[in-house]
Amino acid sequence: MKINVIKTANNKLWAADEEAEVKLSKLKAADVYIADIKVNQNYELHKKIFGFFAFCTNYYYSDMEASKDSFNIEFVRRKLTVIAGYYRQVFARDGVTFELLPLSLSYESMPPEERQVFYKKITDAALKRVFDKTTDQNVINQLLGWF
């Protein structure tokens, strides 16, 4: 079970979100549990990148409902990640052609310096491919205000 917790000043671990509270409520009190603790370098920023992909998905499909479909968001995320240059090239099954597979956006796979460069590249990719024809200054300001 993976949960997000926050350490308080009095050395207690508290659930960081509602999902974590639900998972913690299922554990029995007074039992001893083994935990593998990993520090999220910036949990809020990680959530924000997926909000950014939902924003791009809304604009890409011109539909507010599109961002509620995880398939649509995943499609836009994968495309923008590849366009930003964060991918791995692998040969296709035929052995002649190749495919570009987006790399993981998990914090464990990306050092902080690389993450900063990635966020700039992903914003540039969105400007070039998703928002390339927009003239609405409000949309452009929202886009530039994400990071």
Instruction: Check whether residue 13 and residue 80 sit in a common domain.
Output: no
Q: State the Cα–Cα distance between residues 31 and 72, nearest whole angstrom.
A: 42
> What type of residue is 134?
T
Residues present in the chain in total: 147
Q: State the Cα–Cα distance between residues 18 and 11, nearest whole angstrom.
A: 21
Instruction: Check whether residue 29 and residue 79 sit in a common domain.
Output: no
Q: State the Cα–Cα distance between residues 17 and 140, nearest whole angstrom.
A: 31
Instruction: Check whether residue 32 and residue 47 sit in a common domain.
Output: no
Instruction: Check whether residue 1 and residue 58 sit in a common domain.
Output: no
Provide the domain limits for residue 6: 1-37
Give pLDDT, residue 107: 66
| 23-54 pLDDT tens trace | 999 999 889 988 888 766 676 777 888 888 98
Instruction: Check whether residue 71 and residue 137 sit in a common domain.
Output: yes
Give pLDDT, residue 80: 94
Give the C-alpha distances (Å, rounded to integers) separating 89 from 82, 86, 99, 100, 134.
10, 10, 6, 5, 31
For every one of its 147 residues, what pLDDT tens digit does the chain have, with 9 covering 90 and above? 888 888 888 999 899 899 999 999 999 988 998 888 876 667 677 788 888 898 899 888 887 777 778 888 899 999 999 999 999 999 988 889 999 999 888 766 777 778 888 888 988 899 888 888 888 888 888 877 776
130: tokens are 């998703």
Give pLDDT, residue 142: 85
Give pLDDT, residue 83: 94
Bridge partners of 102, per DSSP, are: 87
Q: Which of 94, 60, 64, 92 is nearest to 78 (CA)?
A: 60
Give pLDDT, residue 147: 63
Structural domains of the chain, count: 2
Instruction: Check whether residue 64 and residue 18 sit in a common domain.
Output: no
Buried b (16+ CB within 10 A) or exposed e, 61-78: eeeeebbeeeebbebbbe
Give pLDDT, residue 135: 85
